[in-house]
């Protein structure tokens, strides 16, 4: 007879059809607890969730039998990336990858080969393909339920739970840490990883009406509960059959167009126009600048003393914000630029990704100003507009990288 004190929970299963939660012990015995109320909406396609505490992994199975494996974060300190390369795909590249991974007629053999290589590298823990809040938004607003499911499934299967922290939070963290560094108080910096498995990193707390509260457990169970909940919600919301309506037009594109047209008519050199663009940007960031200066405990007198040049240095010296600034400069200085509604989303997410990823793949109209910004800031990120080109470069980089850890399968 097994010693009860040495037994452990090896598997926790949430079974939608059986309406119960199943706890499986290391000796193979099970305990079943019925669910009095369903945890799934009618529009949910999740049929089953399996969690293995020993391996830190969550496996979701859909009603049609598709499966999604998510890595879960560890509470212990350390680098969970462990040397893996970070490859960020713009939304159009995820669509291409989705078509290629399913072998649709719209995909080429080169794209299908690239998709297979990416999947193998993900499974071997050589690379991560993080999802972002922008990907969730762009996917969930698609009209076709079938195409929305296929694209969402691809993003989930290739990202495996890895995500890029909300760029709105990243830029706040960068400003806060720049202020701390300026006051020689680097020990007070936040140092939150941008490419992460952390629960609830997809959306900044500033986006939420009220912060979510988790029940308190002993030891590390509260963190584990939050990680499981965040991963389950991410999978469930991405694959939900109900389309999310597109939000209202904020007017950002129209204001940017007006500003660009005004700059085009000025008889000034590029340096003078850059100053005008910086003023425009700092005005847009005024709330973040004030709030993060307060959070970093910057004295009001010192904040005023830094002035315009000091704030520009704080912005320009930050990876994500600095690249966003350079992209703004590049586009506004290009006479005749036409601004589109989605340009703000593209610039915010791509500048954040390029500030912290190893590779970024995006459309040409964003690649060019992004590459220009990378040259000016000195960041080493490679930017491609073709998946096959990027895969060749990734393969070359992997040839010189250390052997991977044993993968979770």
**208 pLDDT higher than 80:** no
- Distance between the two ends of the chain, CA-based, in angstroms? 31
Helix/strand/coil (H/E/C) assignment for every residue in the chain: CCCHHHCCEEEEEEECCCCEEEEEECCCCEEEEECCCCCCCCCCCEEEEEEECCCCEEEEEECCCCEEEEECCCCCCCCCCCCCEEEEECHHHHHHHHHHHCCCCCCCHHHHHHHHHHHHHHHCCCEECCECHHHHHHHHCCCCHHHHHHHHHHHHHHHCCCEECCHHHHHHHHHHHHHHHHCCCHHHCCCCCCEECCCCCCCCHHHCCCCCCCCCCCCCHHHHHHHHHHHHHHHHHHHCCCCCCCCCCCCHHHHHHHHHHHHHCCCCCHHHHHHHHHHHHHHHCHHHHHHHHHHCCCCHHHHHHHHHHHHHHHHHCCHHHHHHHHHHHHHHHCCCCCCCCCHHHHHHHHHHHHHHCCEEECCHHHHHHHHHHHHHHCCCCEEECCHHHHHHHHHHHHCCCCCCCCCCC
24 neighbors 14 (Cβ within 8 angstroms)? no
% of the chain with per-residue pLDDT over 90: 77
Closest to 276 in 3D by CA, of 312, 305, 306, 307: 312
Q: Which whole number is the average pLDDT over 96-104? A: 91
Q: Which whole number is the average pLDDT over 229-240? A: 95
Phi-psi sector, 70: left (phi>0), alpha (psi -120 to 50), beta: beta
261-300, pLDDT tens digit by residue?
999 999 999 999 999 999 999 999 999 999 999 999 999 9
Residue 91 pLDDT: 96
Ranges 65-69, 88-92, 148-152, 250-254: which has the least confidence: 250-254
**236 pLDDT higher than 60:** yes
Residue 194 pLDDT: 97
Tell me which of 188 and 109 has the higher pLDDT.
Answer: 109
Residue 40 pLDDT: 87
Residue 6 pLDDT: 79
Going from the C-alpha of 38 to that of each of 7, 17, 19, the distances in angstroms are 30, 10, 7
User: Crossing angle, helix 167-182 and helix 319-333, to 10 degrees?
Assistant: 110
**80 pLDDT higher than 70:** yes
Tell me which of 236 and 106 has the higher pLDDT.
Answer: 236
Ranges 35-39, 61-65, 280-284: which has the least confidence: 35-39
1 pLDDT band, cuts 50/70/90, is very low
pTM of the model: 0.92
Q: Which whole number is the average pLDDT over 158-182? A: 96
Q: Which whole number is the average pLDDT over 82-95? A: 96
Q: Which whole number is the average pLDDT over 179-187? A: 89
Mean per-residue pLDDT over the chain, rounded: 91
Residue 218 pLDDT: 57
Residue 174 pLDDT: 97
**133 pLDDT higher than 90:** yes
Q: Which whole number is the average pLDDT over 295-311? A: 94
Q: Which whole number is the average pLDDT over 300-327? A: 95
372-405, pLDDT tens digit by residue?
999 999 999 999 999 999 999 999 999 987 766 5
**304 pLDDT higher than 60:** yes
**205 pLDDT higher than 90:** no
Residue 222 pLDDT: 80
């Amino acid at each position: 007879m097994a010693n009860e004190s040495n037994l452990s929970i090896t598997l926790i299963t949430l079974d939608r059809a059986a309406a119960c939660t199943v706890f499986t012990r290391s000796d193979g015995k099970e305990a079943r607890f019925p669910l009095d109320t369903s945890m799934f909406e009618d529009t949910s396609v999740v049929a089953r969730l399996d969690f293995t505490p020993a391996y830190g992994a969550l496996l979701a199975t859909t009603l049609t039998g598709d499966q999604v494996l998510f890595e879960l974060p560890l509470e212990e300190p350390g680098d969970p990336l462990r040397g893996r390369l970070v490859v960020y795909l713009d939304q159009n590249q995820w669509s291409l990858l989705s078509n290629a991974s399913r072998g649709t007629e719209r995909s080429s053999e080169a794209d299908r080969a690239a998709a297979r290589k990416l999947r193998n590298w993900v499974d071997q823990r050589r690379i991560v393909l993080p999802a972002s809040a922008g990907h969730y938004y762009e996917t969930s607003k698609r009209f076709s339920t079938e195409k929305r499911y296929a694209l969402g499934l691809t993003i989930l299967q290739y990202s495996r739970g890895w995500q890029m922290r909300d760029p709105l939070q990243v830029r706040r963290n960068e400003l806060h840490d720049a202020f701390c560094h300026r006051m020689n108080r680097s020990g007070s910096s936040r140092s939150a990883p941008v490419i992460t498995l952390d629960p609830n990193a997809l959306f900044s707390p500033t986006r939420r009406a009220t912060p979510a509260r988790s029940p308190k457990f002993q030891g590390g169970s509260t963190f584990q509960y939050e990680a499981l909940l965040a991963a389950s919600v991410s999978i469930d919301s991405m694959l939900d059959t109900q389309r999310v309506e597109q939000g209202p037009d904020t007017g950002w594109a129209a204001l940017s167009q007006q500003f660009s047209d005004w700059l085009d008519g000025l008889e000034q050199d590029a340096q003078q126009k850059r100053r005008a663009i910086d003023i425009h940007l700092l005005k847009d960031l005024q709330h973040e600048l004030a709030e993060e200066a307060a959070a970093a405990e910057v004295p009001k007198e010192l904040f005023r003393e830094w002035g315009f040049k000091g704030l520009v240095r704080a912005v320009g010296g930050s990876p994500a914000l600095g690249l966003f600034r350079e992209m703004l400069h590049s586009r506004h200085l290009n006479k005749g630029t036409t601004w589109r509604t989605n340009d703000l989303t593209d610039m915010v997410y791509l500048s954040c990704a390029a500030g912290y990823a190893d590779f970024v793949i995006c459309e040409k109209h964003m690649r060019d100003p992004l590459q220009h910004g990378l040259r000016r800031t000195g960041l080493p990120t490679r930017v491609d507009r073709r998946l096959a080109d990027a895969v060749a470069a990734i393969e070359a980089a992997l040839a010189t990288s250390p052997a991977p850890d044993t993968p979770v399968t």
